[in-house]
A and B are shown apart, each in its own frame.
Chain A
């Protein structure tokens, strides 16, 4: 039996509804809110600022530090224990690695750029939403970058290649592969590639191509959010 119609009725190459806004945290140097379906992420950037502990500093370029945190009430099931855990530590690392290739931190030797990502609501694809939010926030903070990184999950559910799996699809009993990817839109470079499950080579190539196309659409939403900050000011 093939997966012919998605649980929430959208087409296979459609993402959930996306929305984004820049400049939501007034005290931060740059910030953003990103929503995809029921998943929401708020990112706040502080810096460049002094780095502690001092042994982390790099005299050649700035250090990017991302902190991913799911809020206790964010899940659909039980309360998540507050504070870091193994999962959040790993995701913080992959987010840092996904954003770093797009940034130019040579202007900020011996300093840190801290990105705090909070998730008040999670369904699935929280690391992708975090990367999208963090990329907007970094651009809002005025950090030089090649492009605004966008991220989306692609995958396969019961033999069908599709984009942006939600929780019901991830939990589907059958053949499922969940592949979160992050893309630098202007060059098509992949900066994040992880996978849960199994997928054939042909389907993987198909899924990644689809993911790159969809990431361009997400990128448009991100860039619109960055510009909207100034449009509102113009109306006043």
Chain B
């Protein structure tokens, strides 16, 4: 039986579009098999790797994955931990023993560590099938965020903001000297002592979000920052 790929690499496809015909290909993320056809199930960019066809999503809420570093807001304080809003359906739970490297006494005032409304960087340690999320704030680089600028971007554009091996975010850091933390859930924290440079950093990140699908983005950002 003959098999062929109908969609091209990096095409924008919408649900119901036929990507390939024949049993020689395998459907992956964002696609499904209908008879001998592989079809798209979300809006996304086509990515073909050998026999596997998958879609890079362009829309949708953040889907939590174990090992992701995210930025969340403390939304509730429990008996032995915190609830943290990381932009998913359910709030993530930060248990007491994962909160800090020092010992926290039973019945201690938890607001001493993280208060309501505080933003923290944390790592996802576990996700259940029912999408209950456990996080940890105990590790290198994981902490409560101080003053700075918080931005919400679409979580699907985070890979472009980071760039290949962090190239994009390093370019911005070099040009502006800002501190930047990018959470996989689309929350970005920016800090610079100079408010003008902080604004410039924020504008650069906004620019990347708006032009996430265009090629040659690194050059555009570099020319924007050196202006």
| A residues adjacent to B (C-beta < 8 A) | 29-30, 47-50, 59, 104, 107-111, 139-148, 185-187, 219, 223, 226-227, 230, 233-234, 236
Contact = CB atoms under 8 A, between A and B. Distances in A.
B16 interface: yes
19 contacts: A47-B89, A50-B90, A59-B130, A107-B63, A110-B90, A139-B14, A139-B15, A139-B59, A140-B43, A142-B60, A142-B156, A144-B30, A146-B32, A146-B39, A147-B15, A223-B14, A223-B16, A227-B12, A227-B14
Given A109-B130, A219-B16, A233-B211, A143 B60 contact: yes
B209 to A, nearest CB: 10
Interface of B: 12, 14-17, 30, 32, 34, 39, 41-43, 57-61, 63, 89-90, 129-131, 156, 210-214
Nearest to B89: A111
B41 A144 contact: yes
A142 B210 contact: no
Contacts of B59: 30, 139-142
A142 B61 contact: yes
B214 A146 contact: no
A234 B15 contact: no
A31 to B, nearest CB: 11
Nearest to B29: A144
Please indicate which of the listed interface residues B43, B60, B213 has the most CB atoms of chain A within 10 Å of its own CB. B43
A148 B42 contact: no
Given A108-B131, A148-B15, A233-B213, A139 B34 contact: no
Contacts of A185: 16
Nearest to A51: B89
Contacts of A230: 12, 58, 213
A104 B109 CA distance: 44
Contacts of B63: 107
B43 A142 contact: yes
A141 to B, nearest CB: 6
B61 A186 contact: no
B89 A50 contact: yes
Contacts of B156: 142
A109 B12 contact: no
Contacts of A236: 210-211, 214
Nearest to B130: A109
A197 to B, nearest CB: 31
